[in-house]
Homo-oligomer: A and B are copies of this chain.
């Protein structure tokens, strides 16, 4: 079988079981199918969705926006336009963030060089 328990799915996507249940509770994930004992069974599609969510989170998307995206996805193909816009806006924010990090990185590198100069001049 390629359906996973919550523990297996958590290991696959690099989140904890706590977080997977919490994501479901918060509406970031559609209610996951259960086996006869009431235990969650994650399909490959569920796992793919979780992997996408981890990328959105890592790039700084707030949980509330991820919830909004999940709601749109659940409403079907009539929300494709809204989902595209949501991703375009997020892409712009990520690009701006990268640009900012690169500018700040220049300053950090400048400081490293400065400290290297100071060490060189301090030698006997």
**Measuring CB to CB, which residues of chain A are less than 8 angstroms from any residue of chain B?**
52, 55-56, 58-59, 77, 80-81, 83-84, 87-88, 90-91, 94-95, 97-98, 100-102, 104-105, 107-109, 111-112, 115-116, 118-119, 122
| Contact assessment for B80 and A109 in the assembled complex, using a CB-CB cutoff below 8 Å | no
| Contact assessment for A108 and B59 in the assembled complex, using a CB-CB cutoff below 8 Å | yes
Copies per assembly: 2
Given contact pairs A59-B108, A91-B109, A94-B108, enumerate 14 new A-B contacts (beta carbons under 8 Å).
Answer: A56-B108, A58-B104, A59-B101, A59-B105, A77-B118, A77-B122, A80-B115, A80-B118, A80-B119, A80-B122, A83-B115, A98-B102, A98-B105, A101-B101
